[in-house]
Each structure stands twice: as structure tokens, then as C-alpha cells.
Amino acid sequence: MLGAAVVALGAASQAPAAPRPPDLAVLEAVSEAVATGRQPPPAEGDLPSALASALVARASGREERTVRLALEAIRSTEPPEPGESRAAFEAALWLTLLAADPAPEVRAELAARGGPIGDAVFALLQAREERCTRAVESADALAASAEGPLPRLLAEVYRRCGRIPDALALLRRADSGDPRIQREIGWTLLAAGDAPSAAVWCHRAAAGMRGLPSERHEAERCAAVADALAGRMPSAREEYAAALEDWFRDPLAPAPARRNAGLAAAWVRLSAGAPEDARRALAIVEELEGNRDARSDPRLPAIRAMALAATERDAAAVRELARARGAGCLHLFASGFVAARQQDGVAASAAYGRAAACARAEGNALLAAAVGVELAELAAKEGRPQSARHHVEEALADWSVGPFADPLGAPLADPGLPRRAIDVALSALRAAPGGAESAEAVTVAERFRLALAGDEREPLDPGRLRRHLAARNGALLYLVVGEDRTFAWLVEPGAVLSTELPSGSELAERLSESAEAEPPATAIVGNLLGGLSAGSALLVIPDGLLAGVPWHDLAVIEPTTGARRPLGETFELTLMPGLAEALAPGGARTQALTDEPTFLALTAEADPLLNRLLTLPALARL
């Protein structure tokens, strides 16, 4: 089923753009009116008018009126069939109610409403509350004849409940011209572990949501999360924080969502570590303190204490920590953060240890992951690379992309955390005596990549890797993207060379700005390949966004004559997704990407780099 869904989605991506769905047209008119301070034009029909009025009420801060108007409109009409134009408006009204953290009477109304739209939205509510058994049963009953807004609603049910193939099967039947469908494809691909392809769809969704700020910032968050996971760091983190700040200041977003977005934006700014980001985090906190609803949030003093410590206002940070005790596990994390900024490693380690135990006891995996990276940084500074590695492995095991897709509130989490974690551990390993030029470093890096992908396989031992290369008279080019740099190794049977390359953001920029049809290989991998003999077998294992590099076309330049030859003609080039596939008994070429189909074919039409990648023999099957 998954392969069929990929093919169908690829075809859908090339379909002509459809007219904007009618409920989005109403939202666009309301958004423009709110931005300009004018009344929106009258909408035709009871449900469109009610949707416009409910959104205007929300923009005015009258959430109770928003709920009342939406409920009255739904109660006054019969449940529409999914194919009717009214169905899009009923779905939009229900989603407006769900975003308002509905009272029990709203939930009861939804449960009793009946009709395909009401049943689908109720299933979505159950999925968001992690009651997946009932949610999936309802979705299964509706999926066979789903049309109109149903595929989008049910796809989210399946995605949240771990039924990725079913989500994709629905999305292939949906209107791929609807930017909300494109965004849901992006979130679904992220859940499937394909960040590069997810980024293409989320960027496309954001481009299709001009004039729709309340919808666009979610697509921008999706794109930034995908870019961060693919390694386009640190720029993806900046874009994610900017999208959160837009959400925080969006008058059409519910008050709880705006508060969560502001807190999350401050958290991400603090994760970046730069002084300017710390000052911006503190400014966001001060803006939140001017909001009556946000002022009472127990998390606010904890984040303020962190921001004060990051801006070197130590005494004020300590006083603020005393106010943050109601934040529970977050207070413990903030205590460790403040101690670390005051160079008190012992106190920081103790506080972080308590925060980790608290977070795991409460099931807050993302906070546990953040603690793990902070402990890894402390271990790295103290010259304990193995301890840093252990903490990073724990952090990657705790980390999850799922909470980032919640339309009701952003988590206190940095989407760049996995890349930061890998950067910390590999930098510590390279700093150890002999740590850089060792095949063991490659298997450690592979362990991190497997953990990031949720793959529980054990990495291959260095000895087997060397024997494999010796048998083929070949070399391995292995790359891993970190937070601020890219790690690269050239492994030959008798030697290992390593280097640090620019960040993923810079490498991506070099490719996009290159005016050459065949950019030089040194622009991507430096001088690592300079000593490799022409005709040698070269196995390349790229990471994240580097899978989109046109490896075959990179130019190898003869130093004396300046002659250029494509990398794929200079060496016997093979691309692989990982070491396990590369060393499979069947041989590298026949084993290339033979696991469950990737989504590269899905996005080739939208991404020229991926399109060129698909021409390589190792990927021709896609």
C-alpha cells in the first residue's frame, strides 16, 4: 500500500492547481480585514457567515463569543454530506471550536452530532487525546468513501495513531492543490522519517498560503522542523523561531496557542546559545508578562530565569528561580541551566539529573532529551567523550517529532536538538587522542544516525568495514551533519582521514548559489578525495540534506591542467543510505535503497537536486 501511495502522491504533485477551497477564501478575507482594521466583506450562506463572525470574534479576544457563534451555526443546520460545499465550512467551524479548548458541552455536542464530518472531527479529537483505538475504528469506517475535507481530517487521525500507510493512501485521493493537504503530507513524511521530502511539501504549502497567516505559520513550522532534521542548521532553527513568533502575535490564533507559541519561541532562542538570541528570548518573555493570561503560566518564571542567566544577570536569575517552583520538572531544568551559565558544573549536573528523572516520570520525553544534551555538553567540556556519547544516545532515544505537529500548541523543544546532540558528541570524540582518524568514529556516527531515524540496529564494527573496503579496493566517504559543522571521513583499508566541513546551511547555500552546472567536489567535501586514485570504487553515504547533492555531477578538477571530470566518471561511484546496506552480502549496487520505498520520487518534481539524484544508477529503481 505504501508504494502505491507514493506513486499516486507523486502524480498528484504534478496536477494543475485547483481553486482555493471556499473556507480558505473566507479565512483570507477575514485575515485581510483584521490586518487592515476593516470589516470583512459579507460571506454568502449561514455557515460561511458564521465562520467569518467567529474568526472576527477570536481576533477581538472574545473567545466565548467565538464558541457560541460556531455552535449556533452548527446546531442550526443538518449534517452535510462530505462532497457538499457546506462540508468544508462545518469542518472549519468544528476545528475552530477544537482550537478553543472546548468545554464539556462542546464535546458532548460533537459526539452527538452525527454525520460524516462530525464523526471525523470527533475521531480527530480522540486521536489528539491519544485515544487511538476508538479514533482509528471511526476513521476506518469513514475512509472508504472519504471526500471533501474528510481525507485531510482522517489522515491526521492515522498519522497521530501511527498508521502512516493509511494516511498516505487517503492523501493520494485528496486535492493536492489545497495547501493544507500539502502541509499534512509534509507532517506525515516527517512522521515516516523522511525529512528532506517533508521539507519540499511543507515549503510548497507555505508558498500556497499567502494571505493566510494563521495557516501559513504552521506550514512554515513544518518546513523548518523538516529542514532542521535534514541538517540545514543553524538557519532552520532561526526560521522555526520566527514562525513561532508570528504565531505568538497572530490575532486569529486562540489565546492558549499564542501563549504556548511565545514560550516555545523563547525556549528555541535560548537553545541557539548566541547572546542576541538570549536578548530576544528575554524580550519575548517580557511581552508575555504583559499578557494577563500568560502571566499566570507557571512555566514563565522558569524561562525568564533562563533568559536572565543567558544575558549574564545572575542575581536576577536566582531570584526568578525562587518564583518558578510551580513549574515542576521545568524548574529543575532551569536550575541546571542557570548553574551551568554560572560555571558551576557540579550543581548543574545534579539539577539536570533530577530534571531527567522528573521528566521521565511524567512522560515528558522532549524535556528529557533536552536534559541529555545539556549533560552531554557538560561532559564534553570536562573531557569525558564517552560520557557525552552516552548522554547523546539517551537524548536521541527520547526525542520525537510528533509534538511539533500539534496545531493547538508548540512544545518547549528545539527542532535542531538532534543535530546539536550529534555535534556535541562527535566534537568531543574528535578532540580525544586519536579520535578523529579512526574507523570507530564512523561507527559511532552511524549509531547516532540510526538513533535519529528510530532504527534499533547495531552499527557494524570497524574491522568488518575495513575488510569490506579491502575486498573491493575501495574507499568510503561518510558524512554526518551537525549543528554548526559537517563531519566527514574518508575510510580506506589502511587509513582514515577526517575533516570538518561547513554547516548544513552553508553547504546548501553553496549549491543553490552555484552558477556552475557541475560545482567542484571540493565545495562539498573539501580536499578529502585528493589522494584517491582515479577509477577507485567510492562508496558515498550522505546524511540528511546531503542526499540531495548531485554527487555524480560534482566536478573533480585536475590540479595541473584544470580539466574537469564528473565525480561519477572519475570513480566507481555508489550512493547508500547507511553502512548496513552498504555491507550487505548482495553487494552495494544491488542493495541500494531496497528497504521500504523512500519518498524521494514523491518530491523529485519539486526539487531539482533530488530530481538529478534520481538519475543515478543506484537510485534508478525509484
pLDDT digits (tens, 9 = 90+) for 220-273: 999 999 999 999 999 999 999 999 999 999 888 888 888 999 999 999 999 998
47 part of a folded domain: yes
What does the block give as the cell for 312? 549574564
The Cα 85–Cα 148 span in angstroms is: 8
235 part of a folded domain: no
The Cα 162–Cα 271 span in angstroms is: 29
Domain shared by 392 and 490, yes or no? no
481 part of a folded domain: yes
Looking at this protein, which amino acid is placed at residue 149? Answer: P
312 part of a folded domain: yes
Full domain range(s) for residue 494: 433-440+460-619
Domain shared by 468 and 320, yes or no? no
Domain shared by 294 and 355, yes or no? yes
Domain shared by 404 and 532, yes or no? no
Domain shared by 417 and 470, yes or no? no
C-alpha atoms less than 13 angstroms from C-alpha of 127 in its C-beta half-sphere: 27
Q: What is the pLDDT, as a whole number, of residue 239?
A: 96
Q: What is the pLDDT, as a whole number, of residue 483?
A: 94
Domain count of the fold of the chain? 3
Residue 461, helix vs strand vs coil: coil
CATH, residue 324:
1.25.40
Contacts of 37 (CB under 8 A, 6+ apart): none
What does the block give as the cell for 291? 499578557
Confirm if 300 and 285 have CB atoms less than 8 A apart.
yes
Domain shared by 469 and 391, yes or no? no
Residue 236, helix vs strand vs coil: helix
What does the block give as the cell for 420? 546539536
Residues of the chain with pLDDT below 70 are 1-19, 40-45, 101-103, 176, 434-438, 459-460, 514-518, 559, 581-622
Q: What is the pLDDT, as a whole number, of residue 242?
A: 96
What does the block give as the cell for 194? 523522511
Domain shared by 272 and 147, yes or no? no
The Cα 30–Cα 384 span in angstroms is: 56
Q: What is the pLDDT, as a whole number, of residue 42?
A: 64
Taking the alpha carbons at both ends of the chain, their separation in whole angstroms is 16
Domain shared by 469 and 421, yes or no? no
182 part of a folded domain: no
Contacts of 304 (CB under 8 A, 6+ apart): 282, 285, 289, 320, 324
Domain shared by 394 and 264, yes or no? yes
196 part of a folded domain: no
Q: What is the pLDDT, as a whole number, of residue 138?
A: 94
The Cα 270–Cα 276 span in angstroms is: 10
| pLDDT digit string, tens, across residues 561-615 | 777 888 888 899 888 888 776 665 543 332 333 233 333 333 333 343 333 333 3
85 part of a folded domain: yes
Domain shared by 272 and 369, yes or no? yes
Domain shared by 164 and 288, yes or no? no
pTM above 0.85, yes or no: yes
The Cα 76–Cα 73 span in angstroms is: 5
**CA nearest neighbour of 417 among 173, 603, 237, 160:** 237
The Cα 622–Cα 194 span in angstroms is: 15
Per DSSP, helices labelled H in 290-364 are 292-295, 299-310, 314-323, 329-341, 345-362
289 part of a folded domain: yes
Helix (H) or strand (E) holding 159, with range, is: helix 150-160
Domain shared by 266 and 388, yes or no? yes
Domain end marker among 177, 201, 230: 177
What does the block give as the cell for 237? 532553527
**CA nearest neighbour of 426 among 526, 341, 498:** 498
Q: What is the pLDDT, as a whole number, of residue 478?
A: 92
